[in-house]
Each structure stands twice: as structure tokens, then as C-alpha cells.
Amino acid sequence: MARLFCWMIAAICLALTGDARAEDGYDLWLRYAPAAQGRAAAIHTHATMVAAPGTSATMTIATQELQRGVGRMTGTTPPVAVTIQPGALWLATPSTAPALPVRLDDLGAEGYAIRSVKQDGKAVTLIAANSDIGLLHGAYHWLRLAQSGVDLDRLDIRSAPRIGLRLLNHWDNLDGMVERGYAGQSIWDWWRLPDWKGPRYTDYARANASIGINGTVLNNVNAKADSLTTPYIAKAAALADVFRPYGIKVYLSVKWTAPMELDGLKTADPLDPAVAAWWTAKTDEIYKAIPDFGGFLVKANSEGQPGPQDYNRTHADGANMLAAAVKPYGGIVMWRAFVYAHDNPDDRAKQAYSDFKPLDGQFADNVIVQVKNGAIDFQPREPFHPLFGAMPKTPLMMEFQITKEYLGQSTHLTYLGPLFEETLDADTYANGKGSTVAKVIDGSLDGHRLTGIAGVANIGADRDWSGSIFNQADWYAFGRLAWDTSLSAETIAKEWAELTFSPDQKVVQPVVKMMMGSREAAVDYMTPLGLAHVMDTGHHYGPGPWVSDLARPEWNPVYYHKADANGIGFDRTRTGSDAVSQYAPPVAKMWANVKTTPERDLLWFHHVPWDYRLRSGETLWDGLVHRYDAGVRYVADMQTTWASLKPHIDAERFAETETLLTIQHREAQWWRDASIAYFQSVSKRPLPAGSAAPAHDLNWYKAQKFPYAPGHN
Ligand code: GCW
């Protein structure tokens, strides 16, 4: 009797709440939600079975993913068979089916074709590739199509990545803390590895493979030498074993002084034979454990990290020494260009170029220099980094930040697709018009074969992986753009919204609209008109434009905005730091002139009087205040839009986003008020009509302290 009662209660609870775990975000964009009846029937017609004549681990994963996806969408799991029947999803490579009715020559090792074909008179959907990994990517593409409303009858798709290395960089520490991580602790359970390999690692690999990511740097660039000890190599090897069948390679960040710290060498001078021998032996050890190890990522002589310059050697000397060690195995070295030195008084925005440009042509052929999208540090908006286009003899890879250190961390809805797109589409003019950053990093501009793009991960142990549902879109967008830089941020947002919420356009359209303007809104309420780095110190959470007392000049927000009684902005023209001259002449010319500088970059390049007239006719001061207002207003509009979606979104994800938007609105207002309170104390101008005075006086804003803000080492 008691038992019957328990069953009844459980049944009632389930009926009321649905499956409690169904929409907690864990499934990311791989939800495979039940399709509407007609659609489910259409999917079923094209997936009556999965015909896969191979048996590799990757092939098995591809077939299982198709079974899972179709099963969940239609309620019927298609069987796997070797023979091809009508309506089959047919997975084939030249080794399983030599005469395929589709060209594969331009698809490379990872690309695929998806085509509706007749095979022996039977209508089937062919997913064809040169390799099983290509098939896996194709399977995920087909599953995306199935979840959207696309007609599955006449498919003819060919897709291959132009960029070779599509990597996540984890800034994960060995103790589980994630530097600039806002989604909980690290997902790597270093302590229980290599024995315990929880299911999360597999789901991580699935998620990444589904968007084409093919490598992961496991540990923070602010590296500990310990990652290179034998026990930690075994741990990394265990992860590599999980990721391998998904086409994902493992890489490690290294600390430059590891030979000294781990084995007592007297020096880490890259030209010292004992140092080179140490790295060679260490590399041999790693490749014994991880035969397909990808290579090393290095942050050297940057923000206190040791490096070759400590021994009067160059970055190239350092990179080439490591490159020689991994070369016999086909490994690579990713050498970061994020450098600036406390003893260099020059504009921080110029220092990476000054250090690296003279080294063009001096790097070994398995070295790629990793350059952040902008010259300062992942700001809400930065002009593209001047190194792009400036080192034609050196492969350069892009480093984006997916985690939102400077764009609202885990709580703000600030979709990064438009930021990525803006940078990739920026024209360097290095070889004339059309020399976009995308062409620099895909190697086509200067004929490089080694190509790459990295994103600093926003992944943590939070159930939803990224700290919020909408932050998942940034991971997704990074992967999709890495695979195909020509995709638009809007197309990707649409795709993501369909997969994440519903293919119903009543949901997709408003969600995409919210997303598309959200980054610009953050620019407006944080750093309008080309301002940068005015975040509070250390944790970078919230506003701190007044901060001026830190030891190094370039740590202080006042260094970046240079507001004074006359005006505001950093003069980077010839009368100032002359950073503009690091760009190709047409670009330099545009930014050197205040009149031809797009207003979005105005204060990045110019110190402008408060009464300067903007294109709208308003003064700079009024325009600045209006932009802060517009940013806050946009967030309020997102709240309204989201509220209107309540009937269409599951309760759990609706409530989370609703709450986070409330936080965002409060913080946008705080950003606006604090910034205006401070800048008004300098500009001494009245607020334009209609703009409200800040809620508190400046001292109140200055007094806010957040010693436990997350993500700060
Ligand atoms: O963005 C800044 C961060 C540091 C980071 C550094 C870097 C890993 O504030 O936390 O360190 O850049 O990219 O090396």
C-alpha cells in the first residue's frame, strides 16, 4: 500500500514537472528534442536505418550519434546495418565504398559531403568523407539539419575546414580553479585521473566534435611545471584516449623554466644544449604516452612568466628549440604574442608588434604565433591586432576569448558571434584590399599550410557547462566560425537558437534579435566610442575608470582613457603613441584622421575634446552619455522580449535567463552610472536633457569592493 502511494506521488510529480533533468542545459545543442509529428515522419523517412560498413571507434560513434539523435527526435531508433536499404543514412569512405557517387578530392581529411542519391535504385542520404572523422562531422551536420526545418529530400552539401587547428585553450589550473572561468571548477578531475574517466569527458568530446573543434590545450598558459611530470603526462594521456576517436588532439601549455624546476638544471637558456636535451627527452616521454600529442602552447616573457628573453634570447630562439623537439613526431609549437613588459614605457598596444615583427621569417616551420584578436586584451571592442598582415613569413593563429572576462562574465547575455565576425572580416590591407584577418589565419593570404584558431574556453563543471544557457552560444559560435570563417554570426545564432530552444520561428526570431545586438549593448554600457580596459582591477568585474594607483601604468584604467579637463581618449596617432603606423598605410591613414575614424574606434585612437561634434551633431560628452543610456535600454528591451517568450520556453531555462537578465540590467545601470559619475567629475559638463543623474555619488561607486569575484588567480 505504502509502495503504491509512493508510486502515485512520483507519477504525479513527474507529470507536473516533466523530466526534471531534461532542460538543465547539460545537453547543449545536442538535445535532439522530439520533433513535431510531420517533421518526425520526414526525419524517419530519411533515416530508416544507418548503413555503415565500417567498424572503427569513430565510425561506431558516428552511427551511435545518429541513432541517438533520430531516436530522440522521432521515437524510433534506426538500426545499424551493412546493406543499404531505401531511406538509409549511408556513411561511406573510399575504403568502404570505392566508387562513391560524389567527389571527395577537395574535402581533405576532415571534410564531408552530404547528398541525396540513388544507390542501386534506392533513394538514400549519403554522408561521404575521406576519413571516419569526416563522417563524424558529416553525421553531426545532418543531425543539425534534421533538427532545423530544412528539407531533407534534396541535400547536396560539401564542407571542409579551411583552418587546420581549431582549438580550445583551457586556462585550467591543476587545483581545479579556472583562471577567468565563470562556470565553476575545471572539468578536469586531475586528482582522480588517469583512473577515473567520468562520462563528462566523452560528452565534452561529443560537443566539440559536433562543431568541428579538433584540439584542446588542457592547462592554463600561466602553467605549472608539474603538468610535465610523469604522473600528469599519464593523466593527459587518459584524456587523449577519450578524445582520440572524436578527432580531438591534446596539447599542453608549458612553463619555460620547467627544466630547472623539475630536474634542477641551472638555466632555461634555449641555446644551452642541456636545456634542449631536456626538452627532447621530455617530448619523447610525452609521445610515448600520447602518440598523437599535438604540441606545446607557450606564454613566455609576459605578465611575469619566464621566457627566453630572460637569457637575452628571442622568442624565436625559444620557439625553435621546442619546435625541434616535437618536429620528429609532427608536433607543433604555438607561441603566444601576448607580451608587454613592465620596463617598457611604450604604448602597451604597440609592444607585441615591436617584439614580434622583427622576428618574421625566423621561426621554424612547425611554429605558429598565436595572436589575440586585439592588441590590448579581449576588450568588448578592439581594432584588429596590428600583427595580422604584418608577418607574412610566419603562420599566425587567432586567439579569441570565449570566456567573457571583460563582457559580463557569466551573467550577461552578450553574444560574441558579432565580435568574432567583426575581427575575422576586418581588412588588414596587407596585400591590398580584401586582405582580411580571416585570410591571414586560414593561410590563403601568404600561402601558409600551418593554420590555426584558438578560443579560451568558457567551460566548467557547472551542469550547463558554460555558466548560462546563452554562454553556450559563444562556444558554439567559436566552433562554427573556426570551421567556416565565412559564416555570419547571425546564421550561427539562428542555428544555435533552433537547436537550443526550438525550430519554431516564433522563438528563433526574437532570440536571435536579442543576441545580435547584445554585444554592442555591452560596448555601450561599458566601453562606448572606443574606450577600453576601464574595468575594475584584478577580477575585471564591474567599472573602475577612476583606478590610478597601481604599480604599473598600464594596469590602471586611467592609462587607457586618459580623460582630463580637455577631453578623453588615447592619442595613438603621430602626435601620440603612433600605434597607427603599425598598420598597413590605408588602414593607418583612416585611423590617423579623427574624421575618417569610425566612431566606434574614436577614443581608441584619438584624444578628443569633450565638445567635439559627433556625426550626429551632438557633442562627444552628450554622445557618450547617450550611448551608456542606449546600452542599458537594450538590456531592458531584452528583458521584455524574453518575458514574451515565457509560453514557449521550458520553465528551468526560462527562469535562469530571466534572473540573469535582471542581474545584467542592474549591472548595466551600475556601469552607466559609475562611468558617468566619474567622467562627469572630469568633464564638468551637465548631463544632456533626458539623461538621469547617477543613483549615487562617485565615492559610493569607488567604495564598492569585490574580493571574491570569480575567475581571478
Ligand atoms: O586576459 C588576460 C587575463 C589573464 C591572462 C592573460 C593572458 C592567462 O587577465 O588572466 O592570463 O590575459 O592571456 O595570458
The answer to whether the Cα torsion of 404, 406, 409, 414 is positive or negative is negative
Q: What is the pLDDT of residues 635-686, one digit of tens each?
A: 999 999 999 999 999 999 999 999 999 999 999 999 999 999 999 999 999 9
Residue 433: pLDDT band (50, 70, 90) is very high
- List 567's β-bridge partners, or say none: 609
The predicted pLDDT at position 685 comes to: 98
Residue 713: pLDDT band (50, 70, 90) is confident
**CATH at 324:** 3.20.20.80
* Cβ–Cβ < 8 Å for 522, 514: no
What is the residue whose three cell numbers read 549615487? Answer: 696
Q: Residue 289: inside a domain, yes or no?
A: yes
Q: How much is the average pLDDT of 152-173?
A: 98
Is there an atom of ligand 1 within 6 Å of 180 CB? Answer: yes
Which atom of ligand 1 lies at the shortest distance from residue 372's CA?
A: 13
Q: Residue 408: inside a domain, yes or no?
A: yes
Provide the residue range defining the domain that includes 591.
571-606
Domain match, 492 and 557 both: no
Q: Strands 112-119 and 122-128, how do they pair?
A: antiparallel
Percent of all residues in the chain with a pLDDT value above 90, rounded to a whole number: 94
Q: Residue 14: inside a domain, yes or no?
A: no
Q: What is the pLDDT of residues 260-298, one digit of tens each?
A: 999 999 999 999 999 999 999 999 999 999 999 999 999
Q: Give the residue from 402, 412, 385, 396 showing the smallest Cα distance to 477.
A: 402
Domain match, 69 and 106 both: yes
Residue 93 confidence (pLDDT) above 80: yes
Domain match, 694 and 676 both: yes
Domain match, 345 and 493 both: yes
Pocket test for ligand 1, best of 170, 177, 178, 179 (most atoms within 8 A of CB): 179
Q: Which amino acid is at 422?
A: E
Is there an atom of ligand 1 within 6 Å of 170 CB? Answer: no
Domain match, 634 and 614 both: yes
Q: Residue 1: inside a domain, yes or no?
A: no
Domain match, 61 and 94 both: yes
**CATH at 615:** 3.90.1330.10
Q: Give the residue from 450, 321, 314, 474 showing the smallest Cα distance to 393.
A: 450
Nearest CA, atom 11, ligand 1:
222
For the chain, counts of helices (H) and of strands (E): 21, 16
- List 452's β-bridge partners, or say none: 165
217 — phi, psi (to 5°)?
-90, 115
What's the predicted TM-score (pTM) here? 0.96
Domain match, 154 and 44 both: yes
Nearest CA, atom 12, ligand 1:
377
Residue 647: count other Cβ atoms within 10 Å of its Cβ.
8
Q: Residue 414: inside a domain, yes or no?
A: yes
Q: What is the distance between the alpha carbons of residues 17 and 430, in angstroms, rounded to a whole number?
A: 58
Domain match, 135 and 230 both: no
The predicted pLDDT at position 22 comes to: 67
Q: Residue 280: inside a domain, yes or no?
A: yes
Q: Is 637 helix (H, G, I), strand (E, B) or coil?
A: helix
Question: What cell numbers appear for 248 in the block?
Answer: 580531438
Ligand 1 midpoint to CA 497 (Å) = 30
Ligand 1 midpoint to CA 30 (Å) = 31
Question: What cell numbers appear for 14 in the block?
Answer: 513527474
Residue 14 confidence (pLDDT) above 80: no
Ligand 1 midpoint to CA 425 (Å) = 24
Q: How many domains does the chain have?
A: 4
Residues annotated as catalytic are 303, 377, 405
Pocket test for ligand 1, best of 173, 220, 222 (most atoms within 8 A of CB): 222
Q: What is the pLDDT of residues 214-237, one digit of tens each?
A: 999 999 999 999 999 999 999 999
**CATH at 125:** 3.30.379.10
Domain match, 139 and 190 both: no
Domain match, 545 and 634 both: yes
Q: Residue 618: inside a domain, yes or no?
A: yes
Q: Residue 9: inside a domain, yes or no?
A: no
Is there an atom of ligand 1 within 6 Å of 299 CB? Answer: yes
Residue 189 confidence (pLDDT) above 80: yes
Among 305-319, 356-370, 542-556, 677-691, which stretch is predicted with the lowest mean pLDDT? Answer: 542-556
Question: What cell numbers appear for 194 in the block?
Answer: 588517469
Give the Å distances, CA to CA, from 383 to 329, 527, 534, 603, 628: 37, 13, 16, 11, 20
Ligand 1 midpoint to CA 456 (Å) = 10
Q: What value does the mean pLDDT of the chain take?
A: 95
Domain match, 658 and 671 both: yes
Residue 2 confidence (pLDDT) above 70: no
Residue 20 confidence (pLDDT) above 70: no
Domain match, 618 and 629 both: yes
Q: What is the pLDDT of residues 536-583, one digit of tens each?
A: 999 999 999 999 998 888 889 999 999 999 999 999 999 999 999 999
Q: What is the pLDDT of residues 476-500, one digit of tens each?
A: 999 999 999 999 999 999 999 999 9
Q: How much is the average pLDDT of 244-259?
A: 98
Residue 8 confidence (pLDDT) above 90: no
Domain boundary, last residue among 159, 192, 208: 159
